[in-house]
Structure 1
Amino acid sequence: MGRRKKGDAVSGWVIVDKPVGPTSTDVVTRIRRLYNAQKAGHAGTLDPLASGILPVALGEATKTVPYILDATKAYRFTIRFGVSTASDDAEGSVTGTSDKRPTAAEIEAALPAFTGEISQVPPAFSAIKIDGERAYDLARAGEAVELKARPVTIYSARLLGMPDADHAELEISCSKGTYVRSLARDLALALGCFGHVSALRRIGHGPFTEASAIPLDKLLGIGHIPPASETLRTHLLPLETALDDIPALALSSEDASRLRRGQGVLLRGRDAPIFSGPVLATHRGDPVALTEYSQGELKPVRVFNLGS
């Protein structure tokens, strides 16, 4: 017999409004303990100095994390002009200063060059691996870090306001892999000065918005109020919430059983031509498996063990 997994078979998404301070891993650990879940993960790291939407997957929902990692993200952030830092945010040591301060008109005129597909060099203090080592570990050790530029897409970018001459508040919608810190650094340089991110908040992540997020401290507080388990489950979204953009197909009991055994299912009649790519197979409203449709057959990619 296999070893029994510790914890409960809890599955779904908890959309946490992360405060400034804890790491994303810290938040995942606390949520996993709160729900006593067997496993947990998150879809996209937020730095300790960043706040906002952190989608936490529990149980079988961890199998849908890749679909959220690739989703569009939205950020609201503040650039402080006149100072560059080693990390391109307020945590790093100062590496340079400049006297120039851009005007709102200059910022708005510069933004179109940073919209669409652009080439971006990630910050030295990032989780990208270089010869098996994290870039931030090398940077903290004082080693020179040279990262290659990579393409990212900024779908939209707008200036929200300037509270003073030193700061500008912006909002962007962007693709996976975009570094807001790099954008702030490069925008400042294009404006003839230095700059870094002084505040950062994620306000959207795929299907998840601020309206669906619950502050971490509020969620943790629920755990101390009986009956905690029932209240906590009201903040647990179904795992298929992450798959809103993927077509779903209801299957018979026989076909659902085939998928659960790792076998393919042939589509007949009018179902066959309507699918291309990933398909969520369901049975009686419950998710059965993520599948790939090819040559008239649904082939299981991720099977969900939900006991249905």
Structure 2
Amino acid sequence: MQCNVTGGIPVSKLDWATTNGVFSDRVVFSKLRNELIVDSVRVDDSADYFCIANNQVGIPVQKKTTLIVRNIGPMTYWLTPDPLRDDRSFAVNTDIKLTCHADAAPYSELTYFWYKKNSAGSRVSITERNAKDNIFLRFLNVEEKKRGFTFPAKSSQLEIRSLNEDDYGTYVCSARLAPNGTESFATIIVSRESAPAKIFASNSLVVVTEGSSALLQCRTSGKPKPLVLWFRNENTTLPSGEMQEVTQDGILTINQTSRDHADLYTCTTARFNGFSKLSKTQSEAVVELQVQYAPTVEPSYVEIRRS
């Protein structure tokens, strides 16, 4: 963000302020170009920034710039059968709900879209206007709890009442920021059969050299296919700084490994994803990361003084 000051005698002193209160350590001020630079911008950098000019004559003047940082996370979803039945499959004439949610910023620009794939694999849009008589679309503004399930606010829900043969198939929930923003989506299969989520580590031991990248991978099975949740042993933060990380492909990537990254990492099927009744029992696997590094030599010496 650049601030251009014209006129005024004596020369004005330039200062910056933000509605965030304080500037992070990633903010750099360039006096030569009258610039404020935010390095490696994050969602929490979204705020109003004020360029303030003051030459002690009259009141200070200011100019506001609004910074909006857009971000959308991976889609999560719930596939919930009729809560009055204990079915492990979706039988004809039952009611089911497909609920999806994406963490996004700003939420005011988030829009959900629903599709069903046809026999050719193409998406066919589902809207309130063209939906079948037994299909209903809802947007959840606030958190909603239904018979043991908690659906977060800002979620989208497709409800199928009295499920019939034509309702089986593959549904897609898509979320976008702004008209042409990045898409986050989930593919949800509605079928007569479902399979509990299982997970196993591709390699239980990963050995890398310090400074290189490490790929920790866990594979899953189940229908629908679950997301994979990673966390570190003993509640330690991941190398990314987060306590946990959700991956769609089951791969946790650690760039520029250090010896401090050597630890046990656990992958587990995300509780909130997939066929809810079966995903309540999570399965998990453990991957050990070993980081090799060169030794250091501390020379010993004897000081001799001649009298």
Give the TM-score taking structure 1 as reference length: 0.21
The structure whose Rg is larger is 2
**Higher-helix-fraction structure:** 1
Highest RCO, 1 vs 2 (Cα 8 Å, sep ≥ 6): 1
Give the TM-score taking structure 2 as reference length: 0.21
**Higher-strand-fraction structure:** 2
